[in-house]
Amino acid sequence: MSIPNLETIQSYMREQRIDGWLVHDFRGSDPVLARLLPGEGGRRWTTRRVALFVPARGEPRLLAHAIDEAQFAAAPVKVERYVTWRELHAWLAGVIAGAGASARIAMDYSPGAALPAIAYADAGTVELVRGLGAEVVSAANVIQAAIARWDDAARANHERASRVVTEAKDAAFEMIRAAHASGERVTECGVQRLILDRFAAAGLETADAPIVAVNAHSGDPHYGPSPERDTPIAPGDWVLIDLWARVPGEENVFSDITWCGYAGRTAPGRHQEVYDTVRRARDAALERAVRAWKDGEPVQGWELDDAARGVIVDAGYGEFIRHRTGHSLSPGPAVHGLGMNLDNLETHDTRIMLPGIGFTIEPGIYTPEFGVRLEINVFVDPSAGPVVTSCVQDEVVLLG
φ/ψ (deg, to 5) at 339: -105, -160
Domain residue ranges of the chain, discontinuous segments joined by +: 6-148, 152-398
Are 64 and 54 in contact by the 8 Å Cβ rule? The answer is no
CA distances from 196 to 16, 157, 178 (A): 44, 18, 19
At 1 the pLDDT is: 57
Backbone dihedral angles phi then psi of residue 20, each to the nearest 5 degrees: -170, 160
Alpha-carbon gap, residue 176 to 264, rounded angstroms: 11
With contact defined as beta carbons under 8 Å apart, do 224 and 211 qualify? Answer: yes
- Supply angle C-alpha 91, 62, 24, rounded to 5: 80
Residue 160: predicted pLDDT: 98
Compute the CA torsion angle 338, 344, 346, 347 (nearest 10 deg).
Answer: 60
By three-state DSSP, how is residue 55 classified?
Answer: strand
Provide the CB-side half-sphere exposure for 104 (13 A, CA): 12
Domain 152-398: give its CATH architecture. Alpha-Beta Complex (3.90)
* pLDDT score, position 42: 55
- pLDDT mean over 119-136: 97
What is the DSSP-derived secondary structure letter of residue 179?
H
What CA–CA distance (Å, rounded) separates 265 from 400? Answer: 5
Compute the half-sphere exposure of residue 324: CA atoms within 13 Å on the CB side of its CA. Answer: 21
pLDDT for position 40: 58
For residues 46-68, give the mean pLDDT: 96
User: Can you tell me the distance from the alpha carbon of 11 to that of 4, in angstroms, rounded to the nearest whole number?
Assistant: 13
Please count the helices (runs of H) and the strands (runs of E) in the chain: 9, 16
Gap between the Cα atoms of 372 and 361, Å rounded: 13
Distance separating alpha carbons of residues 140 and 108, to the nearest angstrom: 7
How many other C-beta atoms are found inside a 10 Å radius of the C-beta of residue 213?
28
Q: What is the pTM of this model?
A: 0.95
Coil, strand or helix: which one is 388? Answer: strand
The mean predicted confidence, pLDDT, of the chain is 96
pLDDT of residue 302: 98
> Alpha-carbon distance 366 to 278, whole Å?
10
Q: Which fold, 6-148?
A: Creatine Amidinohydrolase; Chain A, domain 1 (3.40.350)
DSSP type of residue 209: P
For 185-238, the pLDDT digits (tens) are 999 999 999 999 999 999 999 989 999 999 999 999 999 999 988 999 999 999
Confidence label for 38 from pLDDT (cuts 50, 70 and 90)? confident
User: What is the C-alpha R_g of the chain?
Assistant: 23
Cβ atoms of residues 118 and 148 within 8 Å: no
Q: Is the CB of residue 107 less than 8 Å from the CB of residue 123? A: no
250-298 per-position pLDDT tens digit: 999 999 999 999 999 999 999 999 999 999 999 999 999 999 999 999 9
